[in-house]
Chain A
Amino acid sequence: MSLNPDQPIKFSPTHRLQWEEAQQKFVILYPEGLVELNQSSAEILKCCDGTLALAQIIATLEEKFATRGLADDITAFLEVALHNGWIAQ
């Protein structure tokens, strides 16, 4: 199981991404579990809206943070996210 660069990426319908006021963090919620996210992971996952594919997500974030060279980090994180079932294609 690995990312298909041509397919749009969506956040898993059986998980929930949510801002937690008490922790000042985004978290992923799923049966029996909770993962706290750092800011960059949360930014990447927020782009997984079911319309953008990998290259578009990278472009969106590079533009948003006015930077270059995020491709490797974003790809690596999304591979992990896919493996954990947080995202789907």
Chain B
Amino acid sequence: MAGLHNNMTTLTPPRWLLAELTYACPLQCPYCSNPVDYAHYKTELSTDDWKRVLTQARQMGAVQLGLSGGEPLTRQDLPELVQHARALGYYSNLITSGYGMTEAKIIELKAAGLDHIQVSIQASNQQLNDHIAGTESFVHKKQVAHWVKQHGYPMVLCVVLHRDNIGQMADILAMAEELGADYLELANTQYYGWAHLNRDLLLPTKAQFEQAEAIAQAYKEKVAGKMKIYYVVPDFYEDRPKACMNGWGSTFLTIAPDGTALPCHSARQLPGLDCPNVNDYSIAEIWNDSKAFNFFRGDDWMKEPCRSCDEKAKDFGGCRCQAYLLTGDLYATDPVCSKSTQRGVIRQAIESAQQCVGSGTEKPLVFRNNKNSKALSSPI
């Protein structure tokens, strides 16, 4: 029966397009989701290439558009791309650190048709924010948040949580309310890319998690109707994994700065996918026919215990990048799952981070910048 169902896995169109316009970024967050070897990818799509990608993806049904990076504001053609996206009927979201944003730019982008702006803040106080961002930026970020509100955009504030700032939960919530955020995204760090490198220093303890979550949940009720809180759970402390990308190749399409099409933004690190490039294929060819987008579609690829698990339609066996990063096997059950025989690697990661706390043997955080990227990876 399961086999029959597999073969009939229907192809759904992309709904969300994440356009990573550039890897350039003035900030240096040590949990950045860009690939560790990003500095080796120097080419960027041209304005016309991006317009073609937007047009083709929209024709297939994509409607939510994330303009991200790196820092998308470093692209001079941003207003032009926003205008093109608006004309096509996208609902477009600028995902920015706020660095380099001016009030004039906010007005220009609004006129071009930008729908909302998501500003990231690293902490609730200047010292920690500027330390984590690797750049002095706190005061300006708050100013940007005010402008966003003032010019009538829905304002989404995003705070990535880790060991150093999770204890500030109450202050972070108060800051978001004071800034008038319509949405607050509290995203526990996901340990890929740079965050994987820095895991011992970033992973909070279970007690920290639970305390922070309780504070956030209570606040949710307090601000109901005013501010929506999205809480992205830390899956290391869960016993079921995340539903990877709502199903591989089912909903999400990411285009990297050089035009590589990715089924998820971390997929670049998975071996053997041969991710296609928009310079060589149309979005329809990429979505429907490419090896990469068909790799984990359906459940034929699964191993036990996922294969015969009655929850496989719910979480799709978890995150492929996490399975590969932590077990070396991209077909393995996500080790976060309590049914995985390799759950031990998660326990070890938690213990290792624990031992690191206040041991005096802490290595410093590895910040995301060109120098570290080049030192940590060999040319492609």
Q: Which residues of A contact B (CB under 8 A)?
A: 1, 13-14, 16, 18, 20, 22-23, 27, 29-32, 34, 83, 85
CB contact under 8 A between A31 and B156, given known A14-B182, A16-B91, A22-B13:
yes
Q: Which residues of B contact A1 (CB under 8 A)?
A: 225
A22, A29, A32, A83 pick with most chain B CB within 10 angstroms: A32
Cβ-defined contact, A34 with B15, below 8 A = yes
Cβ-defined contact, A14 with B61, below 8 A = no
CB contact under 8 A between A22 and B64, given known A16-B115, A31-B154, A32-B183:
no
B41 at the interface (CB under 8 A from A): no
Q: Which residues of B contact A27 (CB under 8 A)?
A: 63
By size class, the interface of chain B is: 20 to 34
CB contact under 8 A between A32 and B115, given known A14-B182, A20-B61, A22-B60:
no
CB contact under 8 A between A29 and B154, given known A16-B115, A18-B89, A34-B15:
no
9 further contact pairs, Cβ within 8 A, besides A22-B61, A31-B115, A31-B183 = A1-B225, A14-B153, A14-B154, A18-B91, A20-B63, A29-B115, A30-B91, A32-B183, A34-B15
Q: Which residues of B contact A14 (CB under 8 A)?
A: 116, 152-154, 182
Cβ-defined contact, A31 with B225, below 8 A = no
Cβ-defined contact, B61 with A23, below 8 A = yes
Q: Which residues of A contact B60 (CB under 8 A)?
A: 22
Q: How far is the CA of A27 from the CA of B89 in the complex (A)?
A: 12
B250 at the interface (CB under 8 A from A): no
Q: How far is the CA of A18 from the CA of B63 in the complex (A)?
A: 10
B230 at the interface (CB under 8 A from A): yes
9 contacts between A and B (CB under 8 A): A13-B152, A16-B115, A20-B63, A22-B59, A23-B61, A27-B63, A30-B91, A32-B156, A85-B228
Contact code string B81-93 (vs A, CB < 8 Å = 1, else 0): 0000000010101
CB contact under 8 A between A29 and B64, given known A18-B89, A34-B15:
yes
Cβ-defined contact, A34 with B63, below 8 A = yes
Closest Cβ–Cβ distance, residue A68 to chain B (whole Å): 33
Q: How far is the CA of A69 from the CA of B72 in the complex (A)?
A: 52
Q: How far is the CA of A80 from the CA of B153 in the complex (A)?
A: 23
Q: How far is the CA of A27 from the CA of B88 in the complex (A)?
A: 15
Nearest residue (CB) in B for A23 is B61
Q: Which residues of B contact A (CB under 8 A)?
A: 13, 15, 59-61, 63-64, 89, 91, 93, 115-116, 118, 152-154, 156, 182-183, 185, 225, 228, 230
Nearest 5 pairs of A and B residues by beta carbon: A22-B61, A29-B91, A14-B154, A31-B116, A31-B156
Nearest residue (CB) in B for A15 is B154
Closest Cβ–Cβ distance, residue A84 to chain B (whole Å): 10
Nearest residue (CB) in A for B93 is A31
Closest Cβ–Cβ distance, residue A83 to chain B (whole Å): 8
Q: How far is the CA of A14 from the CA of B185 in the complex (A)?
A: 17
Closest Cβ–Cβ distance, residue A43 to chain B (whole Å): 20
Q: Which residues of B contact A30 (CB under 8 A)?
A: 91, 154
Nearest residue (CB) in A for B66 is A32
Nearest residue (CB) in B for A28 is B91
Closest Cβ–Cβ distance, residue B161 to chain A (whole Å): 17
Nearest residue (CB) in A for B92 is A29
Q: How far is the CA of A22 from the CA of B89 in the complex (A)?
A: 12
Q: How far is the CA of A12 from the CA of B242 in the complex (A)?
A: 32
B61, B91, B153 pick with most chain A CB within 10 angstroms: B91
Closest Cβ–Cβ distance, residue A88 to chain B (whole Å): 11
Q: Which residues of B contact A23 (CB under 8 A)?
A: 61
Q: How far is the CA of A34 from the CA of B62 in the complex (A)?
A: 11
Closest Cβ–Cβ distance, residue A87 to chain B (whole Å): 13
Nearest residue (CB) in B for A83 is B225
Q: How far is the CA of A34 from the CA of B14 in the complex (A)?
A: 13
Q: How far is the CA of A30 from the CA of B91 in the complex (A)?
A: 8
Nearest residue (CB) in A for B15 is A34
Nearest residue (CB) in A for B115 is A16
Q: Which residues of B contact A16 (CB under 8 A)?
A: 91, 115
Q: How far is the CA of A27 from the CA of B91 in the complex (A)?
A: 11
Q: How far is the CA of A1 from the CA of B226 in the complex (A)?
A: 11
Q: Which residues of B contact A29 (CB under 8 A)?
A: 63-64, 91, 115
Q: Which residues of B contact A13 (CB under 8 A)?
A: 152
Q: How far is the CA of A29 from the CA of B64 in the complex (A)?
A: 8
Q: How far is the CA of A12 from the CA of B114 in the complex (A)?
A: 16
